Amino acid sequence: MSVASTQAVSGRLLLNEPMARYTSWRVGGKADRLYIPAGLEDLRLFLQSADVYKPIYFIGLGSNLLVRDGGIRGTVVLMHNVLTEMKMDGDLVYAEAGVTCAKLAKFCAKEARQGAEFFAGIPGTLGGALAMNAGCYGSETWNVVNSVMTINARGELNQRDAAAFVATYRHVAMPKEGEWFVGAWLNLQAGDAQESTQKIKDLLAKRLASQPLNLPSAGSTFRNPAGDYAARLIEVSGLKGYIIGGAQVSEKHANFIVNIGGANALDIELLIKHMYETVLEKNGVALQQEVKVIGEYA
């Protein structure tokens, strides 16, 4: 439901908005408020306005995210298709947080900058990739970050060098709490546009062959433990194809949970719990969850 925006704020403020529309699993209850900014300056104005009910959540494509069936108390800020500027800034590539990783990879290739091809395999936005140090096929987001722009709950912008952040496997420690990424400068080597484009094509073909892209999912459910793969552990535990409600451990890639139709968030959360407990019991490995879970139970 759309409502009139506050004075000087030009984005869209939606009340009681079903989050299933904004998550890659296509599940989730209603958010009290969801704001779609008109741009970075509008986002600043909104965060300074009286319409922000805390807590605040920033989401992009809604991948790597499970919103519980009871929905979200507070405010969700939608970044996808909002902050989408990409440009060369001297020798650096600048991209805003709402840019999809796939588009970022193609832009860098077109500009003959190499080292960003792996972004094509990440099913999310740059903001999400920065927040969790997303990666695939041996490369990670923070390997190429020069500096970032963040925004806080007061609408204040800060530019910070990559050295201010501690990035580890699928985790980034923020120097200050209550800040979100709105853009980043990437340090990439000069390369060959044609060669980078071919790498992207090869990576996408590999992804299509190995991942269940025909069904709603959220990417990898668990992080890979040191020296092993979560998918292998889940598969040898006999869980491929296991179903709870409308949620299934993918038969194509065991570290993916797919919505085979009619799943709700509780189905998925119970399946995640069952996978964790079964792998621990049968293999003695406590998998670390990669999927972020927010919201309240129905």
pLDDT tens readout for residues 225-243: 999 999 999 999 999 999 9
For the chain, the first-to-last Cα distance in angstroms comes to 21
- Among the listed ranges 39-53, 157-171, 216-230, 269-283, which one has the minimum average pLDDT value? 39-53
Mean of the per-residue pLDDT values for the chain?
Answer: 95
* Set 170, 207, 223, 232: catalytic member: 170
| Residue 195 and residue 95 in one domain | yes
Cβ-in-10-Å burial (0-12, 13-18, 19+) of 245 comes to: middle
**Paired tokens of 260:** 């085979």
Q: Is 290 an active-site residue?
A: yes
Task: Look at residue 88 and give its three-state secondary structure.
Answer: strand
Using the structure block, give the residue that is written with the tokens 């570290």.
255
The predicted model gives 246-259 an average pLDDT of 98
* The pLDDT of residue 183: 98
For the question of residue 113 being annotated catalytic, the response is no
Task: Provide the number of structural domains found in the chain.
Answer: 3
pLDDT digits (tens, 9 = 90+) for 115-169: 999 999 999 999 999 999 999 988 999 999 999 999 999 999 999 999 999 999 9
Task: Write down the pTM of the prediction.
Answer: 0.93
pLDDT one-digit tens code per residue, 172-187: 998 888 899 999 999 9
Query: The CATH number of the domain where 46 resides is what?
Result: 3.30.43.10
Residue 141 sits in which domain range? Answer: 86-210
CATH of the domain at 254: 3.90.78.10
Q: Is 50 strand, coil or helix? A: coil
Q: Which of 20, 43, 78 is the last residue of a domain?
A: 78
Q: What is the pLDDT of residue 177?
A: 84
In a domain, 219, yes or no: no
Q: What local confidence, expressed as pLDDT, does residue 5 receive?
A: 40
Mean pLDDT of all residues in 77-106: 96
Q: Which long-range contacts (CB under 8 A, 24 or more apart) does 266-274 make?
A: 266/68, 266/69, 266/297, 266/298, 268/25, 268/27, 268/66, 269/66, 269/68, 269/293, 270/244, 270/245, 271/242, 271/243, 271/244, 271/247, 272/66, 272/221, 274/239, 274/242, 274/244
Task: Let me know: does 57 contact 34? Beta carbons within 8 Å.
Answer: no
| pLDDT score at 2 | 38
Residue 175: what pLDDT? 85
168 in the same domain as 65: no
Catalytic one of 220, 237, 250, 269: 220
170 in active site: yes
Residue 182 shares a structural domain with residue 238: no
290 token code pair? 């990669």
Which candidate in 96, 117, 269, 290 is catalytic? 290
The answer to whether residues 243 and 288 belong to one domain is yes
- Together in a domain, 170 and 102: yes
Separation of alpha carbons 249 and 259, rounded Å: 9
Task: Specify whether 177 is located in the same domain as 94.
Answer: yes
Confirm whether 182 is domain-assigned. Answer: yes
Residue where a domain stops, chosen among 14, 43, 78:
78
Q: Are residues 115 and 154 in the same domain?
A: yes
Categorize the per-residue pLDDT at 7 as very low, low, confident or very high, splitting at 50, 70 and 90: low
Give yes or no for residue 1 having a pLDDT over 70. Answer: no
CATH for 197: 3.30.465.10
**pLDDT over 80 at 4, yes or no:** no
